[in-house]
Amino acid sequence: MSILIQALLIFFARIIDVSIGTMRTILLVKGQRRIASVLGFFEVMIYLIVLGKVVGNIDKPMLILAYCSGYAAGNIIGSKIEERLSIGRLVVQVIVKEALEELVESLREAGFGVTIIEGEGKEGKSYMLNIILDRKQVKTLYEIVDGCDCGAFITTMDVRSSLGGYFQPKKM
């Protein structure tokens, strides 16, 4: 097999195993141990096969370059895959200076459960809108908040698990 074909195979195999590793790590953090363990099996299998090819041909810099490049590309591609899948839930906190009934109404009309907490900020009274949502919905939420022109401060945090509460019904 030519060195170029070997390098291409190593490059693409590394993209696959690093992308799988990225997904495995994210699933572990989100408490999906079983799926993560299956992915881990395939990740390590590909890794060992590819590593063996490179170590057995350490005198061929093109293979080393393909191995390293595949790792770098795998990180980018793995994060893009995770971004597209949008696995899990987020808690979004929207802090506004005024209780904006219009914003709350818009969010609730869009199907979001909104809890309003009154607080005290540097410049006086403020309100925190607490919203837990599926990650796939975050773009919609940001568009609604951005459209209110209320100078909102938004923070987003991952949710490992949740129980109860109001969530939009799944679309079939």
Long-range CB pairs of 99-106 (<8 Å, 24+ gap) are 99/127, 100/127, 100/148, 100/150, 102/148, 103/129, 103/144, 103/145, 103/148, 103/150, 103/152, 104/129, 106/144, 106/147, 106/148
- Residue 131 near residue 107, CB atoms below 8 Å: yes
State the pLDDT at residue 11.
97
Give the tens place of pLDDT for each residue, 127-165: 999 998 888 888 899 999 988 877 888 998 877 665 556
Q: Mind listing the pLDDT tens digit for each residue in 97-106?
A: 876 788 899 9
- What pLDDT was estimated at residue 172? 45
pTM: 0.65
